[in-house]
Chain A
């Protein structure tokens, strides 16, 4: 596998030669060069997924545990497929919150798994920082598959890959992220990644759902959706959860759609070739109109497809990447 830039060029800063981290806890820890390395590696991984035999031996003999403390279909499936395509032995454990009631701590659960000597643990957890906690107590590589309201690094990487695939660059693009910013780990990983790569990032939502001091991340914040969408290269919608109404964050889903919902009419302000993205699961008719979600500018299903390639790249690089290939 080559980690060199593909022929068409990705318009990214020079990639580093390796991912020198034990874990992937967040985009926070990655340099622009490391992000470029993951994205360039994912190009080769995507090619593997297009073959009739979609499997390479890169992680043969490695054991990967997918430890999911929150329900997830998309992310877990995506990791599982990625692991299998790299020939890892995989095991997925979905732990309902009820097991917390039984009294075993996260550290004890992880230590019990570690006793069986896995190489990597992919963790999804409702508490921000759960992956950092595990990384302090575990020898295995920890991959963050979403921790509370903190980060979801592989989502941001697959979003970036999807944008680069279409636009050949990230620097200078206007990316508008609209929705529930406050509770979103996708938002945090995306603004960290996109600002590192030189994009012009706008975030938009009702003031009740904008994190404190969000502009200190180097983004622009607004509650005027037209301002966010105007001349945007990318419009990324974030899920609005019904239960947020109980916290009085907004009055009703109907009103949310009136004020912030992404419609064709609003999209007329964006660049004609704007990309429409959504990390899913979507609420049609709340944050996004069906005509937009299913329209020609939507790359929402590309995001899902690219998720597998990007996660393959992350698994491969954390497992030793280049050195590993040289040995083979």
Chain B
């Protein structure tokens, strides 16, 4: 069947488009993009004025928890959360149980994704077998089974030597190594950013240098191996400085920032709810100078991608003493509102840059389809409502877990609908797009 999206503001940076265009979808592909396209038997979808039609958003840092931790999230609930957040594709981290370090696990995840039939799922394989930091996982086999990158996320790659080998080997396959940058000796048993607020609350600190050490190590290994190194969930100003210098030096490095790191600071540890375990994540919420450095990096192009680090945890796991709670928050359904509210409406970035950060650059870094509305490309499309009044209700999240610090937040900008392969997989009843 054919669908004609009529009247939206199309933003497609890869093709240099920003303006009112119609988009014709034929089956699962984009057939035409242009002004005043003929209806020609297509079902017409009127896009309200001011709404955006963008290439499908891609979140390259998501924990779907399946297999092994289905009480937190499954591929089905995680992808339901993704499409409700405007994402047409997610890349999922390998720290499942068992670890995604072999083709069987990769195939299992892809099978679950096909069953769920919502967002596209791109598994990310482990660097090391069992993520134990000793022997390399079967990386070529993982790649063949569908993995688009490798990482030992949750932890840094154990040694510089192993990271070097992983980069060399991944380079042969043309896939990036994604690194959770952290010097574990500096981290110790820290649970919050080392600063005034952790000191006041008596929480053990994790300094920003702890992350920057990992960033610098990775940059040096990327230079040594001439392979692509991607910095996950960056939070510290020294890390941004390192990436900026590395890019100037022509080293193949990219990086991502999570919405909570461009929105919140460590002040949230103590207020409004003291010791709220939904303010505990790794890397931690840092001080204002770090948060501001993330925003500047997003603005000046140092940051390539906004990725959520969606990390679902069960209520029982979070309802404990702060130092005993697991790190992480859910992020898929709060990313678009936070990006609009904190970055776009504040004038920090324009809409074109937003689409680069959330769609084009993610597709380029992982070499996955999407990121554009080119004719012939898969019809993965996000319809966004920049002025929609959004109120976050943790209990209403599609994710199986509700661990968000943004419960009750009111923001401007949200998701109207999500289309994957020409098929509407999410329609927000509050936005008024009839799909």
Residue positions of A touching B, CB distance < 8 A: 28, 105-107, 125, 127-130, 132-133, 136, 147-151, 185, 188, 211-214, 216-217, 247
Interface residues in B139-196 by Cβ distance below 8 A to A read 188, 194-196
CA distance A163 to B202 in the complex (A): 25
Pick from B198, B202, B321: contact of A133, CB under 8 Å: B321
Other than A129-B201, A147-B202, give 15 A-B pairs with Cβ distance below 8 A. Answer: A105-B319, A105-B320, A106-B320, A128-B275, A132-B274, A132-B275, A133-B275, A133-B321, A148-B323, A151-B202, A185-B202, A212-B194, A212-B195, A212-B205, A213-B195
The interface on chain B, measured as residues whose beta carbon lies within 8 A of the other chain's beta carbons, has a size of: 22
Leading 3 A-B pairs by shortest Cβ distance: A129-B275, A150-B202, A149-B202
CA distance A130 to B201 in the complex (A): 11
B198: nearest residue on chain A (CB-CB)?
A: A212
- The interface residues of chain A lying within 8 Å CB-to-CB of B199 are 211-214
Q: Contact at B323–A188, with CB atoms within 8 Å?
A: no
Q: Contact at B202–A188, with CB atoms within 8 Å?
A: yes
Give the number of A-B contacts (CB < 8 Å).
61
Whole-angstrom distance between the Cβ of B185 and the nearest chain A Cβ: 10
Q: Contact at B321–A127, with CB atoms within 8 Å?
A: yes
Q: Does B406 contact A (CB under 8 A)?
A: no
- The interface residues of chain B lying within 8 Å CB-to-CB of A106 are 320-321
10 contacts between A and B (CB under 8 A): A107-B320, A129-B202, A129-B203, A130-B321, A133-B320, A147-B202, A148-B323, A149-B203, A214-B199, A217-B200
- The interface residues of chain B lying within 8 Å CB-to-CB of A130 are 321
Q: Does B322 contact A (CB under 8 A)?
A: yes
A149: nearest residue on chain B (CB-CB)?
A: B202
Q: Contact at A129–B319, with CB atoms within 8 Å?
A: no
Q: Contact at B322–A127, with CB atoms within 8 Å?
A: yes
Q: Does B71 contact A (CB under 8 A)?
A: no
Q: Does B324 contact A (CB under 8 A)?
A: yes
Q: Contact at B322–A128, with CB atoms within 8 Å?
A: yes
- The interface residues of chain B lying within 8 Å CB-to-CB of A217 are 200
CA distance A128 to B275 in the complex (A): 8
Whole-angstrom distance between the Cβ of B81 and the nearest chain A Cβ: 27
Interface residues in B22-66 by Cβ distance below 8 A to A read none
A107: nearest residue on chain B (CB-CB)?
A: B319
Q: Contact at A148–B202, with CB atoms within 8 Å?
A: yes
- The interface residues of chain A lying within 8 Å CB-to-CB of B196 are 212-213, 216
